[in-house]
């Protein structure tokens, strides 16, 4: 059996991508919100209302149920438009929503929305980890700015909530 050099390089690159090396990038944003975990959850879990307030994830269609697939339209701060179809991974009301997807080894992303109750407020965290060979070639530079924009819009909406 003869294996050529291109095959060995290709297999090596795929294995490196699956292991997370060399391509790995993490993004982390957070904001304090003067609202209850319930009020913040009510805003982020009402994905049909995202067009009313969310400047980054401008449309999220689908059910927020573990295992379901969403259709997410993103308007990046740099003007680019992206559409992704992540799978819902975790739904823990008033605590966490996680979605993600991609092609393992080549490019995957896992996006976590986390609500942390503190003594006087809620800390809302968005974090995402990208892995795979194509991470270094993907346009990821404006994502953190987009998350910050969403965080500020979420804060405004949740703090003005009328949920008892």
Q: Locate the domains of the chain by residue range.
A: 5-159
Full pLDDT tens readout for the chain, 164 residues: 667 777 766 776 666 555 545 578 999 999 999 999 999 999 999 999 999 999 999 999 999 999 999 999 999 999 999 999 999 999 999 999 999 999 998 999 999 999 999 999 999 999 999 999 888 888 888 899 999 999 999 999 999 976 55
Q: Which residue has tokens 């896992």?
A: 110
What do you get for the CA distance between the two ends of the chain, in Å? 70
3-state secondary structure of 55: coil
Q: Which two tokens stand for residue 112?
A: 């976590």
Name the residue among 49, 50, 57, 119 with its Cα closest to residue 83: 57
Q: What is the pTM of this model?
A: 0.84
3-state secondary structure of 109: strand
Cα separation of 151 and 32, whole Å?
9
H or E element: which one contains 98? Answer: strand 96-103
CATH class of 5-159: alpha beta
Name the residue among 31, 25, 21 with its Cα closest to residue 124: 31
């Amino acid at each position: 059996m003869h294996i050529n050099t291109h095959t060995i390089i290709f297999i090596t690159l795929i294995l490196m991508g699956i292991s997370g090396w060399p391509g790995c990038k993490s993004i982390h944003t957070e904001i304090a919100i003067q609202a209850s975990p319930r009020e913040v959850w009510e805003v982020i879990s009402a994905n049909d209302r995202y067009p009313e307030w969310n400047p980054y994830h401008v449309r999220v269609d689908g059910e927020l149920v573990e295992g379901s697939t969403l259709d997410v339209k993103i308007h990046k701060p740099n003007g680019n438009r992206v559409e992704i179809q992540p799978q819902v991974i975790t739904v823990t009301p008033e605590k966490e929503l996680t979605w993600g997807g991609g092609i393992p080894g080549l490019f995957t992303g896992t996006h976590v929305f986390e609500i942390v109750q503190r003594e006087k407020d809620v800390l809302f965290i968005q974090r995402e980890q990208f892995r795979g060979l194509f991470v270094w070639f993907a346009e990821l530079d404006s994502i953190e700015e987009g998350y910050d924009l969403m965080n500020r819009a979420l804060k405004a909406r949740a703090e003005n909530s009328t949920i008892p």
